C-alpha cells in the first residue's frame, strides 16, 4: 500500500528526533526527558520539582514528594495509614491479587495508591488526598475510595478545604464490580461534603483517566491540571482501536480540556503551591 | 435501612449455606427464593455457566428499554434532547404511568437492526446522553416523580468527540445528580452493565439486576486484553470478575434479582416485562412515603459502605 509507506516516512522523521542512549537502545532512562531528550540526575530533577528546565516537561511525581512540594515544611500529618485492601473476588490473573498488593507495597512503601492527611499551605490549614501512580498505576479500589471518603469526612468535621491531587489509570480491575462502586461511593461522599459547605479543589496530574475522571476528580469546585497531563475517560489507544479515528495531537491532554471548557486553569508545577494558597484565601480559609 | 435489609439478606443467605439441613423442612416463599439464589450461586461457578449469562445479556433478541416501556408504562411520552447540543439516541427517556401514578424513566437503548443500531450507537452514550439523563432526573425531582432507570450498555462511547465534549465529567455529574435526588429511585440492569457508562445512571435507592444481566468494571474482553494480554481469555476474565447477578448480590452491590422467563428474557419478552413490572412496583412501594432527606441519606450511606478493606 503506497499510502502506508508514505506514513512510514513521516514516522522515520519522528524516530530521528528520539534521543538514542549510549548503548544504542531507544528504551529511555526514566530521567531522560521525553520532550527534549535532556538527561538529569535525580537530585537535579528534585530541585526543579521534577520539571525539565530545558523544555518544561512535567515528570511524574510520587505522592509523598507531591505533599512535600505543596505543604508547609513539617505541617503534614498523615492519617489512615493502616488501611489495606481485601481480596473480595479472590482475583487471579497472572498472579494472585494479594501478591500484587504485597509487591506494590514493598516497591512503593505505601499501603495503597492514595496518601491522605492534614496539612498547611502557606499557612492555610487544609486536608490533602494525594494519589501515587507507582502503586498499581494509581488504580482506585476499596482503599483509595475509603481514604477519599474519610478525607471528605475529616475535612467536613474540621471545616477545612479539601485538595485532591489525582494520578490514576482508573478503577482497579482486580477488585471487579466493587472497584466500579468506588465511583458512586466517592461521589456520594463529596455530595455530603458539599452539603456541609465544604470546598474541594481538584488537581489533575498526568494521567487522570477512566474511573477517576468519571468520579471525584471531575467534581471539584475548581479544577486545575498540570501541563501536558492526559485526562480522558477512554485512553488514546482504546479510542484509536475502537473508532479507527485519527486522534488529534493533543487528544485528551490538559490543553485540549482547557479549550473545551472542562478545567479552569493549567498550572505549571512551580506555581501550584501559590495558586492553591490563593484559592484557599479566596474560599475564606484563615491562615 | 437499606444496610439493615442488606445485612439481613446476607445473614439469611449465610444461614441457608447449610442447605442440606433445610431440605425437606418447610420454607417460606422468601426463603425459597433466597435458596434458589444461593443454589444459583453455588451451581454457576463454572466459566461456561457465567459465559452463558454474558451471551444472554448480549443476546440480539433480548428486550431493550423501549420494549419494556411499551409493556410496562401507560400513556408514555418520550422526552428528547439535552437542551444544549443534541438528542443522543443511545439513551431514551420519558414520563408515563405505572399503577396509575406518573413516573420518569430513562435507560440505554440498543438498536434492533443495523440501521437502528448505528443511530443508537449500540447503546453507547455520548456526554450529551448523560446530560439528557440528568435533565430528566431533575425534572423527576421537581415534580416528585419516582425515577426508574434501565441499564443496558457496553460502556460510554470511547471517541474523540465524546472526550472533547467531556465524557468523564458528564458521568461524574450524572452520579452526583442521582445522589442528590429527593425522590425514590430504582435502577435495573437489564442487559450489559458496562462500567462508568452504566453506573452513571445507577446510583439508586434500589439497584436490581435481571437474572441474566451482567455488571462489571470493564468488559471481559477489555480485561483479558489488559491483564492476560489476550482478548480470547474473555471467558476466564468473565468468571474472575463474578459479573453475574448472583455474585453481585453476594458482594452487596445490588439489592435483588429480577427473575426472567425460562431460557432468558428473549424467549418471552411479555413474561419478562410482567416480572420486571412486579419488581419495580414492589420496590417503589417500599420506598413510598420516605421523605427526601431520608432517601438521600440512606442512598448515600449505602454506597458509602461499599468496598472490602481492613
Interface of B with A in 224-243 (CB under 8 A): 226-228, 240-243
| Average pLDDT estimate for B259-282 | 96
What pLDDT, on the 0 to 100 scale, is given for residue B43? 53
Q: What is the mean pLDDT of residues B50-61?
A: 94
Is any Cβ of chain A less than 8 angstroms from the Cβ of B172?
yes
Q: pLDDT tens digit string along A54-95?
A: 999 999 999 999 999 999 999 999 999 999 999 989 888 788
Q: Supply the pLDDT for residue A194.
A: 97
Percent of chain A with pLDDT over 70: 91
Q: Kindly state the average pLDDT of the residues A186-207.
A: 97
Cα A142 from Cα B223, distance rounded (Å): 19
Buried b (16+ CB within 10 A) or exposed e, B246-262: bbbbbbbbbbbbbbbbe
Greater model confidence, B25 or B65: B65
Q: Is the pLDDT of residue B86 over 50?
A: yes
pLDDT at B27 over 60: no
Confidence of residue B28 (pLDDT cuts 50, 70, 90): low
C-alpha to C-alpha distance for B104 and B145, rounded to whole angstroms: 6
**Residue A159: left (phi > 0), alpha (psi -120 to 50), or beta?**
left
Q: Give the pLDDT confidence score for residue B44 in this predicted structure.
A: 47
Separation CA A13–CA B262 (nearest Å): 61
pLDDT at B150: 98
Closest by CA position to B136, among listed B103, B171, B172, B165: B103
Model pLDDT, residue A28: 78
**B194 beta partners:** B216
What is the per-residue pLDDT for A94? 81
CA dihedral A168, B163, B237, B110 (to 10 degrees): 150
pLDDT at B222: 84
The phi and psi torsions of A85 (rounded to 5 degrees) equal -75, 145
Asked if B307 has any chain A CB less than 8 Å from its own CB, the reply is yes
Nearest CB to A184; choose among B195, B203, B215: B203
Within an 8 Å CB–CB cutoff, is residue A92 touching chain B?
Answer: yes
A250 close to B (CB below 8 A):
no
d(CA A140, CA A216): 11
* Cα angle, residue B236 at apex, residues B234 and B237 outer, rounded to 5°: 60
Neighbours of A67 (CB within 10 A): 20
CA–CA separation, B160 and B226 (whole Å):
21
Residue B69 has pLDDT above 90, yes or no: yes
User: Above 50 in pLDDT, residue A13?
Assistant: no
> How does DSSP classify residue A140?
B
CB nearest to B180's CB, from A189, A191, A251: A191
Report chain B residues whose CB lies below 8 A from the CB of A84. 309-310
Q: Which of A112, A181, A217 to mutate to test the interface with B (most CBs of B within 10 A)?
A: A181
Residue range B254-266, pLDDT digits in tens = 999 999 999 999 9
Give CA–CA dist A136/A46, Å, rounded.
Answer: 23
Q: Which of B169, B228, B306 sits opposite A93 (nearest CB)?
A: B228
Q: How far is CA B171 from the centre of its chain?
A: 16
pLDDT value at A160 more than 80:
yes
**Shortest CA gap B131–chain A (Å):** 14
- Return d(Cα B82, Cα B135) in angstroms, integer: 7
Q: Which of B280, B129, B254 is nearest to B193 (CA)?
A: B254
pLDDT of B248 above 80: yes
Q: Is the pLDDT of residue A211 over 90?
A: yes
A116-152 confidence digits (pLDDT tens): 999 999 999 999 999 999 999 999 999 999 999 999 9
Dihedral sign from CA coordinates of A228, A229, A234, A236: positive
Confidence tier at B119 by pLDDT (50, 70, 90): very high
Instruction: Residue B216: list chain A partners with CB under 8 A.
Output: 176-177, 180
Q: Collapse the DSSP code of A232 into the 3-class scheme (helix H, G, I; strand E, B; otherwise coil) and give the result.
A: coil
Q: What's the first-to-final CA gap in chain B, in angstroms? A: 24
List of chain B residues whose C-beta atoms are within 8 Å of the C-beta of residue A262: 166, 169
To the nearest whole Å, the CA of A73 is away from the closest chain B CA by: 31
Query: Which range is most confident: B1-5, B197-201, B247-251?
Result: B197-201
Q: Return the pLDDT at A2.
A: 42
What sign results for the dihedral spanned by CA atoms B204, B210, B211, B212? negative
Does residue A14 carry a pLDDT above 90?
no
Question: What average pLDDT does this structure show over B7-28?
Answer: 49
Shortest CA gap A27–chain B (Å)? 21
* Per-residue pLDDT tens over the stretch A265-274: 999 999 999 9
Beta bridge partners of A255: none
Contact B131, B90 (CB under 8 A): no
What average pLDDT score do residues A174-198 get?
97
Most confident stretch, A27-41, A200-214, B2-16: A200-214
Identify the pLDDT of residue B237. Answer: 86
Torsion angle, alpha carbons of A46, A48, A49, A52, to 10? -100
Residue B168 contacts A where some CB pair is shorter than 8 Å: yes
Helix, strand or coil for residue B76? Answer: strand
Q: What is the pLDDT of residue A277?
A: 97
pLDDT at res. A12: 42
- Residue B87's pLDDT band (cuts 50, 70, 90): very high
Report chain A's mean pLDDT, rounded to a whole number.
90
**Tens of pLDDT along B134-192?**
999 999 999 999 999 999 999 999 999 999 999 999 999 999 999 999 999 999 999 99
Beta strands A114-121 and A265-266 are unpaired
Inform me whether the C-beta atom of residue A220 falls under 8 Å from chain B C-beta atoms. Answer: no
Pairwise CA distance, residues B125 & A269, whole Å = 35
Min Cα distance A61 → chain B (Å) is: 23
Band of residue A197 on the pLDDT scale cut at 50, 70, 90: very high
Mean pLDDT of B18-34: 49
Q: In 3-state terms, what secondary structure has residue B273?
A: helix
- Tell me the pLDDT band of A24, cut-offs 50, 70 and 90: low
Higher pLDDT, A287 or B253: B253
Whether complex ipTM tops 0.85: yes
Q: H helices then E strands: how many in chain B?
A: 15, 8
Q: What is the largest CA-CA distance in chain A?
A: 66
Q: How would residue A1 be classed by pLDDT, with cut points 50, 70 and 90?
A: very low
Q: Which pLDDT value is given to residue A46?
A: 92
Query: Mean of the per-residue pLDDT values for chain B?
Result: 89
Chain B residues with CB inside 8 Å of A85's CB?
308-309
Give yes or no for a contact between A117 and A157, defined as CB atoms under 8 angstroms apart.
no
Whether A17 shows a pLDDT value over 70: the answer reads no
Amino acid at each position: 500500500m503506497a499510502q502506508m509507506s508514505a506514513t512510514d516516512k513521516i514516522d522515520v522523521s519522528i524516530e530521528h528526533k528520539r534521543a538514542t542512549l549510549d548503548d544504542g537502545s531507544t528504551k529511555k532512562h526514566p530521567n531522560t526527558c521525553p520532550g527534549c531528550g535532556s538527561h538529569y540526575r535525580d537530585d537535579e530533577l528534585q530541585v526543579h520539582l521534577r520539571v525539565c528546565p530545558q523544555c518544561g516537561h512535567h515528570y511524574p511525581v510520587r505522592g509523598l514528594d507531591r505533599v512535600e512540594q505543596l505543604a508547609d515544611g513539617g505541617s503534614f500529618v498523615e492519617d489512615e495509614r493502616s488501611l489495606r485492601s481485601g481480596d473480595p473476588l479472590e482475583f487471579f490473573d497472572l498472579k494472585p491479587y494479594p501478591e500484587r498488593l504485597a509487591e506494590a507495597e514493598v516497591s512503593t512503601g505505601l499501603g495503597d495508591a492514595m496518601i491522605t492527611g492534614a496539612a498547611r499551605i502557606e499557612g492555610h490549614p487544609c486536608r490533602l488526598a494525594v494519589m501515587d501512580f507507582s502503586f498499581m498505576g494509581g488504580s482506585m479500589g476499596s482503599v483509595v475510595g475509603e481514604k477519599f471518603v474519610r478525607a471528605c469526612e475529616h475535612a467536613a468535621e474540621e471545616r477545612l478545604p479539601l485538595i485532591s491531587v489525582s494520578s490514576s489509570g482508573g478503577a482497579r480491575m482486580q477488585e471487579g464490580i466493587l472497584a466500579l462502586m468506588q465511583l458512586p461511593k466517592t461521589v456520594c461522599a463529596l455530595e455530603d461534603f458539599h452539603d456541609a459547605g465544604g470546598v474541594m479543589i481538584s488537581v489533575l496530574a498526568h494521567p487522570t483517566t477512566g474511573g477517576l475522571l468519571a468520579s471525584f476528580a471531575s467534581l471539584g469546585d475548581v479544577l486545575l491540571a498540570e501541563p501536558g497531563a492526559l485526562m480522558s475517560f477512554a485512553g488514546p489507544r482504546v479510542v484509536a482501536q475502537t473508532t479507527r479515528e485519527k486522534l488529534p495531537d493533543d487528544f485528551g491532554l490538559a490543553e485540549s480540556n482547557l479549550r473545551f471548557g472542562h478545567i479552569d486553569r493549567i498550572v505549571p508545577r512551580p506555581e501550584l503551591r501559590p495558586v492553591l494558597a490563593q484559592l484557599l484565601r479566596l474560599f475564606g480559609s484563615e491562615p | 435501612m437499606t444496610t439493615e435489609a442488606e445485612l439481613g439478606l446476607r445473614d439469611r443467605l449465610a444461614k441457608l449455606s447449610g442447605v442440606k439441613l433445610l431440605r425437606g423442612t418447610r420454607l417460606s416463599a422468601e426463603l425459597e427464593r433466597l435458596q434458589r439464589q444461593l443454589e444459583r450461586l453455588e451451581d454457576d461457578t463454572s466459566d461456561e455457566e457465567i459465559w452463558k449469562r454474558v451471551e444472554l445479556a448480549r443476546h440480539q433478541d433480548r428486550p431493550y428499554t423501549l420494549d419494556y416501556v411499551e409493556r410496562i408504562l401507560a400513556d408514555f411520552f418520550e422526552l428528547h434532547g439535552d437542551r444544549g447540543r443534541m438528542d443522543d439516541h443511545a439513551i431514551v427517556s420519558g414520563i408515563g404511568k405505572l399503577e396509575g401514578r406518573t413516573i420518569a424513566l430513562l435507560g440505554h437503548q440498543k438498536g434492533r437492526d443495523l440501521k437502528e443500531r448505528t443511530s443508537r450507537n449500540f447503546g453507547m452514550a455520548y456526554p450529551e446522553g448523560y446530560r439528557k439523563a440528568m435533565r430528566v432526573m431533575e425534572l423527576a425531582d421537581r415534580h416528585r416523580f419516582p425515577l426508574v432507570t434501565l441499564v443496558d450498555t457496553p460502556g460510554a462511547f470511547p471517541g474523540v468527540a465524546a472526550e472533547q465534549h467531556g465524557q468523564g465529567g458528564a458521568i461524574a455529574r450524572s452520579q452526583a445528580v442521582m445522589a442528590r435526588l429527593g425522590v425514590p429511585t430504582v435502577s435495573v440492569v437489564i442487559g450489559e452493565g458496562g462500567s462508568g457508562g452504566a453506573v452513571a445512571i445507577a446510583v439508586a435507592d434500589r439497584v436490581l439486576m435481571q437474572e441474566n444481566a451482567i455488571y462489571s468494571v470493564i468488559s471481559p474482553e477489555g480485561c483479558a486484553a489488559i491483564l492476560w494480554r489476550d482478548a480470547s481469555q474473555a471467558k476466564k476474565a468473565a468468571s474472575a470478575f463474578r459479573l453475574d447477578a448472583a455474585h453481585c448480590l453476594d458482594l452487596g452491590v445490588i439489592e435483588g434479582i429480577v427473575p426472567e422467563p425460562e431460557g432468558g428474557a428473549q424467549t418471552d419478552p411479555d413474561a419478562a416485562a410482567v416480572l420486571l413490572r412486579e419488581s419495580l412496583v414492589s420496590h417503589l412501594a417500599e420506598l413510598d412515603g420516605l421523605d427526601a432527606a431520608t432517601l438521600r441519606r440512606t442512598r448515600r450511606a449505602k454506597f458509602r459502605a461499599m468496598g472490602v478493606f481492613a
